[in-house]
A and B are shown apart, each in its own frame.
Chain A
Amino acid sequence: SQTIHQWPATLVQPVGSPLSLECTVEGTSNPNLYWYRQAAGRGLQLLFYSVGIGQISSEVPQNLSASRPQDRQFILSSKKLLLSDSGFYLCAGDRASGANVLTFGAGSRLTVL
């Protein structure tokens, strides 16, 4: 079965600082990978998804970017954080066919001060 690892679990950063959240996948080759953001009391918003190395699709214009340097590695980044970037970030993955169970990591809570 597939396992998603995310780190760091919590992060407090000042406005204008850079960001790097990392996600790795265990147990599956060539997974689809996703970054979601969850604002307090709200549903999940899809930020980026990737179907393979170097292939990134962005769902919403924003201050963030994503990269997939290896098959099982997915990174969420920012050059300069905004207050509005605070939230709970979740990495998820599923098998390449797409019609399968989506597995989530434990999440990374980002607070921008």
Chain B
Amino acid sequence: KQEVTQIPAALSVPEGENLVLNCSFTDSAIYNLQWFRQDPGKGLTSLLLIQSSQREQTSGRLNASLDKSSGRSTLYIAASQPGDSATYLCAVRDSSYKLIFGSGTRLLVRP
């Protein structure tokens, strides 16, 4: 059974810092991995999608990497801003096409 873990559960950093969020999964047989952002009381917004054949994807200040063999992904946020404060969730699409979510990392960027 696929399990997705995110570390740390919460993170507080001063504005301007570069930071890394971690995601690990137990079964490497995945189709893709997706990173989402969730603001309090809101739905999820997709940030980046990495297909299983890819190593990384970039969008603006965000860079996500995927090491399928070791069951790991990282989300790198450069030059963090207070507007980046949110919960970040990763999810893997397993062999049955369902998306399995981690419990998220709650990020606070202090001005």
What CA separation (Å) do A113 and B44 show in the bound complex? Answer: 26
- State the interface size on chain A (CB cutoff 8 A): 25
Q: Which residues of B contact A100 (CB under 8 A)?
A: 49
With A42-B103, A102-B34, A104-B45 known as contacts, the answer to whether A49 contacts B98 (CB < 8 A) is yes
- Point out the residue from B43, B89, B98, B104 that lies within 8 Å of A46, measured CB to CB: B98
Q: Which residues of A contact B43 (CB under 8 A)?
A: 4, 6, 90, 104-107
- Count A/B pairs, Cβ under 8 Å: 56
Q: Which residue of A lies closest to B106 (CB)?
A: A41
Q: Which residue of B lies closest to A45 (CB)?
A: B101
Q: Are B101 and A43 in contact (CB under 8 A)?
A: yes
Interface of chain B, main secondary structure: strand
> Interface size for chain B: under 10, 10 to 19, 20 to 34, or 35 or more residues?
20 to 34
**Chain B residues proximal to chain A, CB less than 8 Å:** 4, 31-32, 34, 36, 41-46, 49, 51, 89, 91, 93, 97-104
Known: A36-B101, A59-B98, A101-B49. 16 other contacts (CB 8 A): A32-B97, A42-B103, A43-B102, A46-B99, A49-B98, A90-B44, A92-B44, A92-B99, A99-B32, A99-B51, A99-B93, A100-B49, A101-B46, A102-B34, A102-B91, A104-B46
**Chain A residues proximal to chain B, CB less than 8 Å:** 4, 6, 32, 34, 36, 42-44, 46, 49, 59, 88, 90, 92, 98-107, 109
